[in-house]
Amino acid sequence: MKLSSEQQEIIERIGVFFERKGHQPILGRIMGLLLVLEEAEATFDEIQEYLSVSKSAVSNALTLLQSQNKVEYTTKPGERKRYFRLKVRNWRNDMQEDMQGIFRINALLKDVMATRSASNMEFNRCIQDFQQFIEFMKVEMPKLIEKYDRLHNS
């Protein structure tokens, strides 16, 4: 079980990406590993071996990724091992959930703006611009998905 230097570099880049987003790098490294492996799945022990990390790090990360609905596991007949894989089949649902979170933030920002005075107009304009963009996305996103479906399902 050996990863190529190119695969290792991609895994590390994904880990750094996650770290910059405020997450533990191990989350991204596990997701990167599951992306680059031809089988697109790995056992707990394989993940630990490929990434050279502790059992507790793998266990904690897999628990978190499963709770975030990003990773799932399957079993094979006659085996007790669990095979972890990304839940890439649900990209539409994931995107819709992310968008719903952004829309909820917009509702909170509206409440914030209702309490703000006009003393800091520059800040207020930035918040209002962000709110308008979110409203724009809320209208345009379904159109983009529909257009994508027309282009790729014909």
Confidence of residue 153 (pLDDT cuts 50, 70, 90): confident
Write out pLDDT tens, residues 105-138.
Answer: 999 999 999 999 999 999 999 999 999 999 999 9
Q: What are phi and psi of 149, to 5 degrees?
A: -60, -40
Provide mean pLDDT across the span 46-70.
95
The answer to whether 25 and 15 are in contact (CB under 8 A) is yes
Give the C-alpha separation, 85 to 35, whole Å: 9
Give the C-alpha separation, 100 to 117, whole Å: 28
The answer to whether 61 and 30 are in contact (CB under 8 A) is yes
pTM, whole model, 2 decimals?
Answer: 0.75
Q: Which residues contact 7 (CB under 8 A, 6 or more apart)?
A: 36
Q: Which residues contact 47 (CB under 8 A, 6 or more apart)?
A: 30, 33, 58, 62, 84
Cα distances from 12 to residues 18, 36, 48, 65, in angstroms, run 10, 12, 15, 17
Q: What's the pLDDT score for residue 109?
A: 93
Cα distances from 2 to residues 44, 46, 51, in angstroms, run 16, 10, 10
Confidence of residue 90 (pLDDT cuts 50, 70, 90): low
Q: What's the pLDDT score for residue 145?
A: 86
3-state secondary structure of 98: helix
Token pair, residue 138, equals 């809320």
Provide mean pLDDT across the span 73-90.
90
